[in-house]
Amino acid sequence: MANFNRTDQSAGAHNGIKLVLAWGFVGIPLAWGVIETCINALKLFH
Amino acid sequence: MALSFLDKERTVAAPGYNRWMIPPAALCIHLCIGQAYAFSVFNLPMTKLLGITHSAPGDWRLTDLGWIFSLGIFFLGVSAALSGRWVEEGGPRRAMFTAALCWAGGFFLSAVGVYIHNIWVIYLGYGVLGGFGLGIGYISPVSTLIKWFPDRPGMATGMAIMGFGGGAFIASPLSVWLMARFSTPMHVGVAETFIVLGIVYFFFMMVGAAIVRIPAPGWQPEGYVPPAVPKRLVTERDVYVYRALRTPQFWLIWWVLCLNVTAGIGVLGQASAMSQEMFPGQVTVTAAAGFVGLMSLFNMGGRFFWASVSDFIGRKNTYFIFFILGIILYSTVPHAGRVGSVSLFVLCFCIIISMYGGGFSTVPAYLKDMFGTRYVGAIHGLLLTAWSMAGIFGPVLVNYIRQYNVTHGVAKAQAYNVTMYVMAVLLIVGLICNFFVKAVHERHHMRALEADAEIDAAPVFGGR
């Protein structure tokens, strides 16, 4: 039982890492693009 | 077989697979193909390929270059309509891989076109081949997302389609930066930029294809209990893709999308010029560029926001909001011009554009409610012809009405007023179409034997 729980936990951690990597892969470029666009959009209020 | 990893059977998720891996997979595709909205950054440099600092005789004109984007959007609609069933039956990975090949191939062919200075090669590359990548890529994750998120289908598809709106945010500064890196006093650097973009996009889209999974048959999210009594406008049954074409609901939603997009796309393309002409002296060229940027943020945000809202208030009600609020806002714009209120003008258009984006992202869930999950991607593909139509109709309407007014002596500041009222009328028609959307009659629902016979008899793009 304890062994099973350990496997379960390591699978959960592994899933978590994959999730962070996948979201980072798309989120970082998107965030960069949004920041660039926000900087441009600010010119409207100058 | 070397390509057996593309098979639908190979993409079935193992137990314990986290469904939140699917939105990033979908975003990998949509963020790349969303580059289409930023293609205009190449227009000016491509008019100076021979003259370098200025347009020389033999250089392409802007009107020639405008066709590249138009062809891309046209073939988006065509390919989405043609390949919908093939995408649905072959699974998301095969579709994403094909989209990556077409999209990157379009860039490579366009680079050749720039290098040999033949615009027809670019029409074929970015316009036709890239357009096929756009269409196949656009619909590839839709039904997969809906199957993984039966509890929040609007939010799930909204996330992916938000990526299509956000793709331009990345592509625009990246393309400008790459052209600056590759340009020399003797060379503009467009061809090299196309090659780099093709490589980057292919890699990015292949990551999406690698991580995408479909749920195992009968899978349900943990703790999810389907409603015991189905909602009036949400079916539990499926309608076969070509059967959907025979229902009034399909054509009513087709017009709902077409009219919503026509109203938005027309002003989206003219936003910069419109803001400067309606507020001469108040809105400078730089401020107008900021306005365009702000609108694209609302276009992207609206895709996620409105689609998520539709999970709570229903799709039909969401479109009712788009149309009623749209009518009020379009009718307010001329007033904003008359009183010289830039902030009211900006507020109106930001909300309008958020609803334009929301129209795109809410429609897959609307189709799922009407026609079930099984062929929703394919039906969505057929519906995107409404976008192609609106892509031609919207800008033409805005440009021609403005031109007509200016030619007939109307001051530029007031030249858009009639257009705004025409847009409001279009939205009234959309409101009526949406009103008539009722649940699909059960005679259109698939029965096991009938479904097999229909599927066997129908042709499929690209073979089975």
Q: B306 to chain A nearest CA, in Å?
A: 19
> Averaged over B440-461, what is the pLDDT?
65
What is the pLDDT, as a whole number, of residue A1? 47
Identity at B370, one-letter amino acid code: M
**Is the pLDDT confidence value at B109 over 70?**
yes
What is the pLDDT, as a whole number, of residue B463? 42
Does B290 contact A37 at a Cβ distance shorter than 8 Å? no
Shortest CB distance from B24 goes to which of A15, A25, A37?
A25
Q: Which helix (H) or strand (E) holds B73?
A: helix B62-90
Which tens digits make up the pLDDT trace of B116-125? 999 999 999 9
Does B166 contact A30 at a Cβ distance shorter than 8 Å? yes
Does B287 contact A44 at a Cβ distance shorter than 8 Å? yes
Shortest CB distance from B18 goes to which of A19, A37, A42?
A19
Q: How far apart are CA B8 and CA B78, in angstroms?
A: 24
Does A41 contact B27 at a Cβ distance shorter than 8 Å? no
Coil, helix or strand for B236? coil
Q: Give the rounded percent of residues in chain B with a pLDDT score beyond 70.
A: 95
What is the pLDDT, as a whole number, of residue B425? 95
Q: B74 to chain A nearest CA, in Å?
A: 26
Which tens digits make up the pLDDT trace of B176-206? 899 999 999 888 999 999 999 999 999 999 9
What is the pLDDT, as a whole number, of residue A3? 53
Assess B28–A contact: CB distance below 8 Å, yes or no: yes
Shortest CB distance from B211 goes to which of A22, A33, A37?
A22
What is the pLDDT, as a whole number, of residue B348? 95
What is the pLDDT, as a whole number, of residue B37? 84
- Residues in chain B closer than 8 A to A19 (CB atoms): 18, 20-21
Assess B16–A contact: CB distance below 8 Å, yes or no: yes
What is the pLDDT, as a whole number, of residue B357? 94
pLDDT class for B380, splitting at 50, 70, 90?
very high
Q: How far apart are CA B33 and CA B115, in angstroms?
A: 23
Q: Which residue of A has its CA nearest to B29?
A: A26
pLDDT class for B316, splitting at 50, 70, 90?
very high
Helices (H) and strands (E) in chain A, counts: 1, 0
Do B222 and B15 meet the contact criterion of CB atoms below 8 Å apart?
Answer: no
Which tens digits make up the pLDDT trace of B251-310? 999 999 999 999 888 777 777 788 888 888 888 878 887 888 888 899 999 999 999 999
Residues 6+ apart with CB under 8 A from B370: B233, B235, B239, B247, B249, B250, B253, B437, B439, B440
Task: Provide residues of A within 8 Å CB-CB of chain B.
Answer: 11, 15, 18-19, 22-23, 25-27, 29-30, 32-34, 36-38, 40-46
Do B179 and B73 meet the contact criterion of CB atoms below 8 Å apart?
Answer: no
Assess B24–A contact: CB distance below 8 Å, yes or no: yes
Q: Which helix (H) or strand (E) holds B286?
A: helix B285-313
- Residues in chain B closer than 8 A to A30 (CB atoms): 27, 31, 163, 166, 169-170
Q: B445 to chain A nearest CA, in Å?
A: 38
Which tens digits make up the pLDDT trace of B81-106? 899 889 888 999 999 999 999 999 99
pLDDT class for B443, splitting at 50, 70, 90?
confident
Shortest CB distance from B169 goes to which of A15, A25, A37?
A37
Question: How many other C-beta atoms are found inside a 10 Å radius of the C-beta of residue B112?
Answer: 16
Taking 70 as the pLDDT cut, the residues of chain A under it are 1-11, 46
Q: How far apart are CA B61 and CA B76, in angstroms?
A: 24
What is the pLDDT, as a whole number, of residue B104? 98
Please count the residue pairs, one from chain A and one from chain B, whose beta carbons lie less than 8 angstroms apart. Answer: 78
Assess B294–A contact: CB distance below 8 Å, yes or no: yes
Does A34 contact B297 at a Cβ distance shorter than 8 Å? yes
Q: What is the dihedral of CA B246, B250, B255, B258, to 10 degrees?
A: -120
- Residues in chain B closer than 8 A to A15 (CB atoms): 16-18
Q: B172 to chain A nearest CA, in Å?
A: 8
- Residues in chain A closer than 8 A to B21 (CB atoms): 18-19, 22
What is the pLDDT, as a whole number, of residue B101? 97
Does B169 contact A45 at a Cβ distance shorter than 8 Å? no
Does A25 contact B170 at a Cβ distance shorter than 8 Å? no
**Is the pLDDT confidence value at B372 over 50?**
yes
Q: In terms of pLDDT, which residue wins out, B192 or B396?
A: B192
Which tens digits make up the pLDDT trace of B119-168? 999 999 999 999 999 999 999 998 899 999 999 999 999 999 999 988 98
- Across all residues in chain B, what is the average pLDDT? 89
**Is the pLDDT confidence value at B215 over 70?**
yes
Q: Which residue of B has its CA nearest to A41?
A: B290
What is the pLDDT, as a whole number, of residue B3? 76
Range with lowest mean pLDDT among B26-30, B37-41, B395-399, B435-439: B395-399
pLDDT class for B453, splitting at 50, 70, 90?
low
> Averaged over B337-361, what is the pLDDT?
93
Q: What is the 3-state secondary structure (H, E, C) of chain B?
A: CCCHHHCHHHHECCCCCCHHHHHHHHHHHHHHHHHHHHHHHHHHHHCCCCCCCCCCCCCCCHHHHHHHHHHHHHHHHHHHHHHHHHHHHHCHHHHHHHHHHHHHHHHHHHHHHHHHCCHHHHHHHHHHHHHHHHHHHHHCCHHHHHHHCCCCHHHHHHHHHHHHHHHHHHHHHHHHHHHHHHCECCECCHHHHHHHHHHHHHHHHHHHHHHCCECCCCCCCCCCCCCCCCCCCCCCCCECHHHHCCCHHHHHHHHHHHHHHHHHHHHHHHHHHHHHHHCCCCCCHHHHHHHHHHHHHHHHHHHHHHHHHHHHHCHHHHHHHHHHHHHHHHHHHHHHHHHCCHHHHHHHHHHHHHHHHHHHHHHHHHHHHHHCCCCHHHHHHHHCHHHHHHHHHHHHHHHHHHHHHHHCCCCHHHCCHHHHHHHHHHHHHHHHHHHCCCCCCHHHECCHHHHHHHHHHCCCCCCC
Q: How far apart are CA A41 and CA B5, in angstroms?
A: 44
> Averaged over B434-438, what is the pLDDT?
95
**Is the pLDDT confidence value at B318 over 80?**
yes
What is the pLDDT, as a whole number, of residue B456? 53
What is the pLDDT, as a whole number, of residue B319? 97
Q: How far apart are CA B49 and CA B51, in angstroms?
A: 6
What is the pLDDT, as a whole number, of residue B462? 43
